[in-house]
Amino acid sequence: MLESVMSLMEGFSVAISPMNILYCFIGCFVGMLVGVLPGIGPTEATALLIPLTFGMEPVSAIIMLAGIYYGGMYGGTITSVLINTPGEAASVITCLDGYPLAKQGRAGVALKVAAVGSFVGGLISIIGLALIAPPLAEFALRFGPTEMFALLVFGMSMVVGLMGKSLVRGLVAVFIGLLLALVGMDPVSGRIRYAFGVNQLVSGLDLVTICMGLFGLSEILVGMENLYIHNKTSSVNSSRLEKGEMRPTVMSIIRGSFLGFFMGLIPGTSSAIPALISYSMEKRLSKHPEKFGKGAVEGVAGPETANNSYVGGAMIPLFTLGIPCSPTIAILMGAFMMHGLTPGPTLFIESPIVVWGTIASMFIGNVILLIMNWPLAGAWAKVANIPNKLLYPVVLIIAMLGAYTVSNSLFEIGVMLVFGIIGYVLKKLEIPMAPIVLVYVLSEMIERSLLQSLKINKGFSGLYSSPIALGFLIAAVLILVLSLYAEFRNKKTDFLNDSDG
């Protein structure tokens, strides 16, 4: 550990050079920008900017590209809170309580809590990246297709916590999410499913387009019913936690930090999974679970912390094993190789300046992002107080531009409009939309992991012969049983209350 500390100090001597601080700032700023603009995420931005790093020093190039990655996690919060338009899957969770807080005039609270949680989560994950990378990466390597399938099933069971008041309506949402995931190419056999002869559907439906339609456009359609009713409160700059909110918020940030870091170690996951599990965990641990979905501060703090902590954890398999854990990390790995670096066990020996310089720059980048977010939270919050008749056209234009940039096709705008109408109908029927998106994200990975596991183990034997997989599956069953029991008990209580009335 002492050797790691000394190496980190050398990394800081590289990261604090004026040029590297500038590149770090550029990366963070671009990441924030692409996080704010729906349709362009960290993955696309990193891929687009790799050619600009030709001729740069390897450490400077990686510092800038890494800044885009974790900067994008910060930026996605802003549109999720202010206009209910998530730019990526992880931001869907933030919409659940961030947007209700904005409608209550507490957008400043949501944005500042998210900024602090993101900073703490990022800081803890970077400390873990610097000090305990090798043993943790070795443990994460035990996750094969069987363990991954069990973990994803566990994550799917957590969706039950997002199903709202009615389990039946929640299951309808899950079914819709599964149907959407079936569109396109089979991840293993390559067969085309439910494309109906439309070439654009061969690769499946785009997640960002679905999110913008279900969340952003549907909100506009609902809001247009009361277009001239200005029901937002005047205290939109309020950024103080109310009495009793401080301790739960701090605890959710701590839990989210360690959860996100651990999930980042597992190849094949995405930032949406720790955000989902964090939200469900906070709801179950809360003394007031009924507040979730209506403006619970912990519902913003936990998931936002988890998806930023995930970044540091996801760097560990890349640096120590040469394994990318997410699409953005895979592109970052390509940038390493383009600059003559080979991620893996020898990277710490052959290019220690690049590794430790990048790790140290992540500390600096998180401070830059906190400075960029904390003072500006009040300014961003004022957006929530713009009259709807002025705000909605701007949101619609941003959403249409974002949908178009997904594949430079008008087809995506059409898909967004269709899902906007679907979202409007679902809201009227009180069917929750978060499970649709999250099941859509998880189901493709579940299908791929299950089929790979069945081929490797020649059957289902791997699911009970692996202690890790068995543990996750048992936990998933327990969650489902307890959720069904709680639903039955609530229905029985409501029936008895109605009978007494």
What is the predicted pLDDT for the residue at 235? Answer: 44
What is the predicted pLDDT for the residue at 89? Answer: 64
Identify residue 454 by its one-letter amino acid code.
L
Reported as a single tens digit per residue, the pLDDT across 286-323 is 888 888 888 888 888 888 898 888 888 878 777 776 66
Give residue 87's pLDDT band: very low, low, confident or very high (50, 70, 90). Answer: low
pLDDT at position 39 over 60: no
Contact 86, 94 (CB under 8 A): yes
Mean pLDDT, the chain, rounded, equals 78
Rounded Cα distance, 139 and 126, in Å = 18
Return the structure tokens found at 456. Answer: 């490797």
Contact 434, 240 (CB under 8 A): no
What is the predicted pLDDT for the residue at 310? Answer: 86
pLDDT at position 35 over 50: yes
Q: What's the pTM?
A: 0.68
What is the predicted pLDDT for the residue at 380? Answer: 65
What is the predicted pLDDT for the residue at 233? Answer: 43
3-state SS assignment for residue 187? coil
Contact 317, 267 (CB under 8 A): yes
pLDDT at position 46 over 50: yes
The string of DSSP codes covering 360-399 is: HHHHHHHHHHHHHHTTTHHHHHGGGGS-HHHHHHHHHHHH
Question: Mean pLDDT throughout 242-259?
Answer: 86
Poorest-confidence range of 52-66, 103-117, 148-162, 269-283? 148-162
Question: If phi over 0 gives left and psi between -120 and 50 gives alpha, with beta otherwise, what is residue 268?
Answer: left
Position of tokens 């950024």? 239
pLDDT at position 199 over 80: yes
Query: Percent of the chain at pLDDT above 70?
Result: 81
3-state SS assignment for residue 192? strand
What is the predicted pLDDT for the residue at 425? Answer: 92
Nearest to 325, CA basis, from 335, 336, 312, 308: 312
Give residue 482's pLDDT band: very low, low, confident or very high (50, 70, 90). Answer: confident
Return the structure tokens found at 480. Answer: 């489902």
3-state SS assignment for residue 193? strand
Nearest to 280, CA basis, from 144, 442, 128, 455: 442
Looking at the DSSP bridge assignments, the partners of residue 193 are 184
Give residue 22's pLDDT band: very low, low, confident or very high (50, 70, 90). Answer: very high
Identify residue 112 by its one-letter amino acid code.
K
Poorest-confidence range of 13-22, 242-251, 481-490? 481-490
Poorest-confidence range of 234-243, 332-341, 403-412? 234-243
Poorest-confidence range of 20-24, 239-243, 389-393, 394-398? 239-243
Question: Mean pLDDT throughout 477-501?
Answer: 68
Question: Mean pLDDT throughout 236-258?
Answer: 79
What is the predicted pLDDT for the residue at 287? Answer: 82
Within 10 angstroms of residue 407's Cβ, the number of other Cβ atoms is 14
Count of alpha carbons within 13 angstroms of residue 312, beta-carbon side: 36
Contact 276, 248 (CB under 8 A): no
Give residue 228's pLDDT band: very low, low, confident or very high (50, 70, 90). Answer: low
Give residue 282's pLDDT band: very low, low, confident or very high (50, 70, 90). Answer: confident
